[in-house]
Chain A
Amino acid sequence: MSWHNTPIALMAKALAAKEVSSTELTQYFLGRIDAGKQWNAYLDVNAHLSLEQANKADQLLSSGKAGKLTGIPVAHKDVFVTRGWKSTAASKILAGYQSPFDATVVANLGIPDENNPHGAGMVCLGKTNMDEFAMGSSNENSAFGPVLNPWNSAHVAGGSSGGSAAAVAAGLAPIATGTDTGGSIRQPAAFCGLTGIKPSYGRVSRYGMIAYASSLDQAGPMGKTAEDCALLLSAMSSHDPRDSTSLADSGEDYGRYLNQNWKEGNTNPAKPLEGLRVGLPKEFFAEGLASDVAKSVNDAANLLQSLGATLVEVSLPKTKLSIPVYYVLAPAEASSNLSRFDGVRYGYRANEYRDLGDMYAKSRTEGFGSEVKRRIMIGTYVLCHGYYDAYYLQAQKIRRIIAADFQAVFNQCDVILGPVAPDVAWRLGEKSKDPVQMYLEDIYTLSTNLAGLPAMSVPCGFNANNLPIGMQLIGNYFSEARLLQVAHQYQQSCDWHLRQASEVA
């Protein structure tokens, strides 16, 4: 049985029917991880720990105490701290760091115990590679080497959750967690042909997520199908009293609308999306968008239309400003969030230094990679006395305008459709020389983080070189279940999401 091609929704059925054990599944994926090191998708794997968890999951399964996801393996982005596995955020400054506690996301998905009675019972396969501290769009900024794209290993996997994307695309995990500060779930999902969702800000606890930009960071699932993402998101999200920005628990099953028609009372099986208004922002289809990406997204729009949806042209006039706004606010928060990595209490400390100031300078200079240092410097600059009003405050004002623009658009449509990124995965090294070129790749994803809205990446085609193309669905606050419904209905009418990555055996 090729479990790596199996959505977790089906895997759960097989586990429940005792067709396979969690231990067998875990061994299967550990074997594939071992054989698939060329993608550099994982930073830490510990077969002993994984199998120990699988054994506990099997006990739960046999004692009838299993939940929907019990026994299914999952890979965690290395931005989540974990007991057992090292937690480094792909930075030299945290090389070898062991966390004494699990991130809330890890606990929510993990094996239940007395301290974590509601754990979903999933088995951790290991920690996935990423751009250092989640700063990057290609996963080339990892201190432990870039992640390669399983569709073409000369190309990047996208970032920052590139390891999670590659792991699922290469069949080294059935599903994975990611985080998205400016597109870090959606863009690597698009580059690797996966489905991923960044929920509304506050849905998923940030406790135990190594912070990049606190007001933008949000965790979410990356998997093969919308249905798989709905399953994982339902288990990941919770109200967490340890995260002041976490929302009250809605107790939602994000998959509840998957097999329903958009409009209640619509019984036409050929038009499940009747009544759905899909907004196409003209700024998302303007100059800079690769023509094959534009074509695939337009084809997807037409498919949604054929399923009953209405297409509406809308406008998000401040789209271009989302880049400078994001690259002021995110580095500002990052410069402060990363101050704790100072060589004093844990993590990397330089070998030789003259005094305290020198210890700080050398430890941080040697411990951080160049993109991280670039953003710390940008962030420090924009927060400085005399620049704060001109940069930080101004950016916050535009941030509010961007959020208001979305609300205006949601008067005209139910979901927004556009591309995830201007182009498909680029070649390794192609954009590394010019950071601004790289920043421009985030143009379609940043604004939803600035507004705190939920957004998805859904596979919608391939370019001429057989590299995946992703479309983006953006919904209003707390509309995750509706976004997943649209994506699921779309996936019932196409097979882009089921294609196997070309280099994967």
Chain B
Amino acid sequence: MQWEVVIGLETHAQLQTQSKIFSGASTRFGAAPNTQACAVDLALPGVLPVLNRQAVEHAIRFGLAVNAKISPASIFARKNYFYPDLPKGYQISQMEIPVVVGGQLEILVGDEVKVVQLTRAHMEEDAGKSVHEEGFTGPHGEPSSGIDLNRAGTPLLEIVTEPVMRSAAEAVAYAKALHGLVVWLGVCDGNMQEGSFRCDANVSVRPKGQAEFGTRCEIKNLNSFRFLEEAIQYEVRRQIELIEDGGIVVQETRLYDPDRGETRSMRSKEDANDYRYFPDPDLLPVVIDDAWIADVRSKMPALPVQLREEWQSEFGLSAYDAQLLTQDRDTAKVFEELLAIVGKPLAKAAANLIAGEFASSLNRAGIAMADAPLKAQHLAPLLTRVADGTISNKIAKDIFAILWGEAIAGKNISTVDQVIDAKGLKQISDSGAIETIIDQVLAANQKSVEEFRSGKEKAFNALVGQIMKASQGKANPGQVNELLRKKLA
């Protein structure tokens, strides 16, 4: 039997705000337990929530970026359940009317562009954290777990897709695209180790051609792209084997154990809480008018998809380069800064430099684009000196390596011209000088000359190589080609 996989993702993106979604406590990660939990976060008697406007702006920004509808009046609801790390006994979330409705995100699966339809995105607060360690005791000396409420009340945007993905690879491509977008927009720091971006995957399988969906399982809290992929792959295999062995899939929530590489049941649908959702009477509807939307729109950065289209059509960049340059905002920024100095005619060369040598050097050194020790002003002369014929591309690469070495070592960074002068790297474009070198090389390589004349084109390239070598790479390659052809004609 041929099986089709159906996947929908729910992603929790932590919204980047100074304070929590309903209190003034800080959202900074890593503080000592319970030092960033105020009376509201502790749910002391008498406290009330007040909505953080910044969290709403981030939600609007996201909604605009995915072409969604922004609800003019969304409603906060209470999701009621008891758990020690949930101080109020309910989580404030959005149920019937979320802030963002619909929308779509383009993803690249292999070479194919696919559009993932979004169902909704809603704001909610995070819960705290249970800490299970030896030695904690309760008021009566009983062994206990610790509760850290620093995280309680952290603003989240839960982004839900339609069940439109058909493979683990698609799900990962979507998650990566979404991650790139929320970080690009500045609404989420994207730090997956700290839990700022985590996915729940709803997975089901059905015989190919069947219209109805199979029974789904939800795999909770996948906090890396690798775990997301592995968990879905395992779950798909599990469900198919189960059905093929005559079993049935039970709707349930499952957890992925990365050490064992398998998912296991957490709770079944029958055990699921009745969350008794109802509108939170402590909070007013979140009214978002056109003026607010326009204001958020005016402050939004250009989207990666817009930049890609613009750069491909205006500068003739390849789809691949455009993709690389828009993988994050810092890369795009360096490209734009470089472009501002060298001008549009050198856009392609600028793209090659950023996406090539520059990106791979950063990568090797493990340095983020934002922290790059070489800036646009250091790089720009490499491009202009190649363009005006002072140096060749090959020499430019060598000079880049020199500048990079200086920058990494924390030394003063030379200018490109200083390096050219100091090392005598100026390109030889004097045809007389080049001819002298050609004559010497031809005299020393008669065998290659004969081979070329007997029809071996390869021998020509070998001669060019010899000439370049003899000039220490400084001969203008175009001129070398031209003059050699003439000599051999």
Q: Does B49 contact A (CB under 8 A)?
A: yes
Find out whether the CB atom of A340 lies under 8 angstroms from the CB atom of B43: yes
A335 to B89 alpha-carbon distance, docked (Å): 10
User: Which of A10-18, A92-100, A143-151, A292-300 contacts the other chain?
Assistant: A92-100
Among candidates A89, A94, A214, A345, residue contacting B42 with C-beta atoms closer than 8 Å = A345
Contact-size category for B: 20 to 34
* Residues 272-324 of B at the A interface (beta carbon under 8 Å): 274, 276-278, 281-284
Q: Which of B1-59 contact A (CB under 8 A)?
A: 39, 42-51
> A245-B282, A344-B147 are contacts. A99–B276 as well, Cβ < 8 Å?
no
A339 touches B80 (CB 8 A): yes
Chain B nearest CB: distance from A19 CB in Å?
37
Is residue A115 contacting chain B, with contact meaning CB distance below 8 A? no
A126 beta carbon closer than 8 Å to chain B: no
Which 9 A-B residue pairs are closest in the complex by CB-CB distance? A339-B89, A383-B276, A215-B281, A214-B281, A208-B46, A340-B43, A81-B46, A210-B45, A385-B274
What residues on B are CB-neighbors of A346 within 8 Å?
44
On whether the beta carbons of A99 and B282 are closer than 8 Å, the reply is no
In the complex, residue of chain B having the shortest beta-carbon distance to the beta carbon of A82: B46
Q: How far is the CA of A476 from the CA of B74 in the complex (A)?
A: 28
**Which one of B39, B89, B140, B278 contacts A383 once the chains associate, using CB atoms below 8 Å?**
B278
Q: Give the segment of A32-40, A55-63, A187-195, A236-244 that binds chain B.
A: A236-244
Contact with B along A201-219 (1 / 0, CB 8 A): 0000011111101110000
Partner of A244, one of B87, B139, B140, B282: B282
- Given A215-B281, A336-B80, list of 15 further CB < 8 A pairs? A87-B45, A89-B45, A206-B48, A214-B281, A241-B50, A242-B48, A244-B282, A336-B89, A336-B90, A336-B276, A336-B278, A338-B89, A344-B147, A345-B42, A352-B140
A250: Cβ under 8 A from any B Cβ: no
Contact between A99 and B44, CB atoms less than 8 A apart: yes
Helix, strand, loop or mixed for chain A's interface? Answer: loop
Chain B, Cβ-Cβ closest to A80: B46
A309 contacts the other chain (CB 8 A) = no
Contact code string B73-95 (vs A, CB < 8 Å = 1, else 0): 00000101010100111100000
Contacts of A242 in B (CB 8 A): 48, 50
The 8 A CB mask of A80-113 against B (1 = contact, 0 = none) is 1100000101000010010111010000000000
The verdict on A342 contacting chain B, using a C-beta distance below 8 Å, is yes
* A439, CB-defined interface residue at 8 Å: no
Q: B82: which A residues are within 8 A, CB to CB?
A: 339, 342, 360
Complex contact B87–A340 (CB within 8 A): yes
| Residue in A332, A345, A380 whose beta carbon sits within 8 Å of that of B87 in the complex | A345
Which chain A residues (325-367) contact chain B, with CB distance < 8 Å?
332-333, 335-336, 338-340, 342, 344-346, 349, 351-352, 356, 360
In the complex, what distance in Å separates the CA atom of A266 from the CA atom of B192?
Answer: 73
Q: How far is the CA of A100 from the CA of B274 in the complex (A)?
A: 34
How far is it, in angstroms, between the C-alpha of A97 and the C-alpha of B45 when the chains are bound?
A: 9
A211–B40 alpha-carbon span in the complex (Å): 13
Instruction: Name B's interface SS.
Output: loop
Which among A335, A340, A351, A392 has the highest number of chain B CB atoms within 10 Å? A340
Q: Check if B46 sits within 8 Å of A345, measured CB to CB.
A: no
Closest to A101 in B: B39
Complex interface: chain B residues within 8 A of A385 (CB): 274, 276
A-B CB contact pairs (8 Å), 22 listed = A80-B46, A87-B45, A100-B44, A101-B39, A215-B281, A242-B48, A243-B50, A244-B48, A244-B283, A245-B281, A332-B278, A333-B281, A335-B80, A336-B90, A336-B278, A339-B88, A340-B45, A344-B84, A349-B138, A349-B140, A356-B84, A384-B274
* Chain B positions within 8 Å of A80 at CB level: 46
Distance, CA A271 to CA B242, complexed state (A): 88
Once A245-B282, A351-B140, A383-B276 are accepted as A-B contacts, the answer to whether A207 and B89 lie under 8 Å apart by CB is no
Within A249-292, the residues touching B (CB, 8 Å) are none
> Closest A-chain residue to B80, C-beta based?
A336
Are A340 and B278 in contact, CB atoms less than 8 angstroms apart? no
List, in ascending order, chain A residues with CB within 8 A of B45's CB: 81, 87, 89, 94, 97, 99, 210, 340
Q: Which of B51, B88, B140, B276 has the most CB of A within 10 A?
A: B276
Which partner residue on chain B sits nearest A346 by CB separation?
A: B44
How far is A340 from B282 in the complex, measured between Cα atoms in Å?
A: 15
Chain A residue nearest to B83 in the complex (CB): A356
Bound Cα distance A103, B46 (Å): 7
Q: How far is the CA of A70 from the CA of B216 in the complex (A)?
A: 66
Residues of A within 8 A of B138 (CB): 349
Q: Hey, which chain B residues are within 8 Å of A383, CB to CB?
A: 80, 276-278
List the B side residues contacting A360 at CB < 8 Å: 82
With the chains together, A215 CA to B147 CA distance in Å?
31
